[in-house]
Chains A and B, each alone.
Chain A
Amino acid sequence: MKFIGDTRESLSIALTAVRANPLRSTLTMLGIIIGIFTITLMGAFLNGMDHLFRQTASSMKTDVYYVDKWSWGGGDWRLMRNRPDIQEEYLNQLQAKMTTAASFSMSIGKWGQNVKYKNRSVQFVTADGVNEGYLQTESMNIQYGRFFTSAELLSARPVCVIGYEIASKLFPNTSPLGEVIRVSGYPLQVIGIAKRVGGLFSVFTIDNTVVMPYRTLQTAFGQKHQSVTIGVKAKSVEHKLDTKDELEFYMRQIRKLKPNDQLNFGINNQDQFNEQIDKISGLLSTVGFLITGLSLLVGGIGIMNIMYVSVKERTREIGIRKAIGATRRSLVFQFLYEATILALLAGAIALALAYPVTVLANNLLLSDSDLQIAFPIAYAGLGLGLAIATGIIFGLAPALRASRLDPVDALRYE
C-alpha cells in the first residue's frame, strides 16, 4: 500500500489552515481542547480519588456493624422513623449471646454541632457519647492525653477527646489538653486528642468528632431516652458476614420478629458507604465522559467543516494530484491525515493546558488536603486516542469527497 503520510507537509497544511482562519480554527479546536482537557482533569481527579480511597478504605472499619434505628443504605424514611428505638439494654443482651464478635460499643451520635474555643469555632462537628468499647470498635488511637476512665464513663463528667481536625482548628498554636471547649454551648474539658485518620471523608471520621462519655452527652443534650447505636466488631475480617448474620439473628430475637417479618432496625456497615462513593465516582466519570463526548462531537463537526472548506479551497490541487497519479485511497489518506493532525494539535494544546492545571491544583487548592492529583498519563493517552479517532471519524466524509472529485472538473476549478 502506498501510504501518503508526508507528516511535515500535512502538519504545515494543517497549520496553514489554522493561520488562514484563526478564529474558525480556534473555535473548531476549542471543542476538542475542552473535551481532552476535561477527560484529562477528570482522570487526574479520579486517580486521586481512587488513591485516596484505598488509603481511606484501609482506615475504614468495614468489619464493624452498627445496629441503628436508621438504615444507611436508604429506604422509606417514614417507616424507619416509626421503628422502635435501639435500647441500651440490647448491648448487654448481645454481649452475652454473640460468639463471633470481638468487641462491642454503644454510642449516641449528634451530627452538625458547633465547637467553640475562645473566638475560634468549628462547624458541623459530630458529638459522640460513648462507652468504653468505643476505643476498640472505632480503632481509635489517642495521640496526646488519655481516654476516659471507667469512673468518668459512668458518671457524666464534662470531659472529652477531640479529633485532629478540631484540635488543629481550635488550637493552632497551643496544646488543647486541659482547656475547656464548648460543644453547642456545653463546656467540656479536653483530656485527649485522637490520632489523625485522614482520608477523603475526614468530616465523617474521628478527625471531626468530639467524643465524650455516654452520660455526659445525655446530660449535655438533655435527652434521657433515645435510640442508641451499638457497634459490633467482627472477630475475623474474612468471616465478618457470619458476625452480621449472628447479629441479625439475635436482634430479631430481641425484637421478637418472626422469620418472615421485615427488620425494624438497621444493621449498617461502612461497605455501604463505599458503595455510595463508587456510585458518586461512577456518576462523575459519566458526566466527564458526557462532557468529553459532547465537546468532541462539536469539535469533530468543526473539523469536518474545516476539512470541507479545505477540500473546496484545494480542489485544483486535488485535480493536479489526480492528474499525476494519486489514487482515491491516497487522497483519502492525505485528508484523513490532515484532519487527524488538526485534532491532535488540539489534543496537544489540551494536554499542555491540563498539565499546569494539575500542578497548580495540587500546590494551591489541595496543598493541605489528602487528595493529591497527578498528571494522568493513561487518561492523557486516552485523550489523544480520542482526538485521533475524532479526526478520523469526522475527516472521513470530506476526505471521501476529495477522493471522488472528477479530475477534469477539479483542474478547471478557479
Chain B
Amino acid sequence: MKALNLLREAWAEITLQPFRSFLTALGIVFGVGAVIAILAISEGAKREAVSQLEVLGAGTIRVRESEAQSNSTSNGIGTSGIYVQQSRGWWGFSGLSGSMGSGGPARPLDMKDLEAVKDLQGIDAAASERTKEVSLPGSFGDISVTVVGTTPDYLKIQGLKLQEGRFFDSLDLESRNKVAVIGPKTRGLVFGTGDAIGNIVRIDNVPYTIIGVVSPKDWSGVTLVQIRDTGKDVYIPVTTMAIGTSEYPVGLNEIILRLKSGENPVQWGAIVEKIVSIAHPAGAFEVIVPEELLAQQQQLQKIFSVVMGLIAGISLIVGGIGIMNISLATVIQRTREIGIRRALGARKKDIQVQFLSESFLISVLGGAAGIFLGYALSKAVSSYAGWSTAISGVGVIVAFSVAATVGVIFGWWPAKRASEMPPVDALRHE
C-alpha cells in the first residue's frame, strides 16, 4: 500500500516533465535493449545448435570434395549442391593420374578412401555418396532428380526412414544389382498414388527396379552445411552406378561416417583427415564435423555477445550517470519542497525513499522500453545476420532487474543528499 503510494507519487512527478524523463531514461533504454538482444541471440544460438545437431545428426563426419577444388574444375560452377557433373570429368582424368602420387594434381575421393576409414575404431558406420543429376519421365513431364550412388548404411547414417519396401543390402552392392530406392517426391511425381515397388525407373537408359521408398525428412533447419532436398533423391548401389565407366576404384563425392556414441567428433575428424590426406596429398577434400562448425559459429556469436555486452554495460553506466545527474538537479530544484516535507514531519528516510522511487521508476520504465527495443534489435539481427534469436522470460526478468538496480544504485546518492539537507536551510531556499 505504502509502496504503491510512493510509486503513484513518483509517477506523477515523472509525468510532470515527460520529455525530460524520457531523456533521463534513454541510456537505460539502450542498455537494457542491448542486454535483451544479447540474451536473445545467445538463447537463439543455443536452440539452433540443438536443432542443427538433431537434423544433421550429432556424431557424424563428412568427407567431401572441397569447394575450392570443384571451383578449379572445368566450368567453375562449384557449389556443393551441383558439383557432380564437373567431378565426373575429373574422375576419368584422375583415374589415369592417380598413380602419379604427390607430384600430380589432386584426385577425387573414391571407395578406397571409404575403405580406409570405415573400420577405424571410433566409426560405427560409413556410407558413400556419389551423385548425378538426371531427368526422369514423370506424369507431368520430365523431372530432374539426384541419383545417389551409395552403400547400405546410408539410410541409418542420414537418419532416413523407409515408408515402403526395403533399402538395398551388401548383396545388392556386391552383385551390382540394378535396384533403386526413391525419395517421396520422386515417388509422387513419377507414380502418383499408384504402386511404386516393383516398378522400373530408367536412369541413363538403364532400367532399375524400385525396392523401397524413403519417408520425407525436413532439412530446412540446417544452415551450417549445404544439404540438398532429399525428397527427390534416387538411391542406387554405388557399384551399380559405376558400371560402364572405367573407374577403379569407384569415385565418390562424399563419404559420410557415423561415430560410435561417446566418441569425440572433433578428434576423429582430425584422424580421418590425416588418413584421407595420405592418399590425397594435394588436399582437394574437406572434412566437415558439424560439432566443429557449430563451435565456430558459437565462437562468432560469443564475440558478438561480448561486444554487445560492452555496449550494454557502457550504456547502462552512462544511463545511470544520466539518472544521477538529473536526480541531483532535481534535488536542488526541489530543495524548498524537501524543506516543506520535512517541516510536515517527513523523516530523512521518507525523503530518501521518495527520490529513490522516482529514479527507480524512471529506470524501470526505461527498462520496459528497452525490452521492446531489444526485441526489435534481435529481430533485426536475426534477419540481417541470419542468426536465430529467442526472447526468453528469464532474459526479460534479468533485464528488468538490471534496470531497477541501476536506478537504485545511481539514484541512491542524490536521494541521500536530499534527505541530509537541514530542514531550515531547505525551507530558506529560494
A, B assembled together:
no
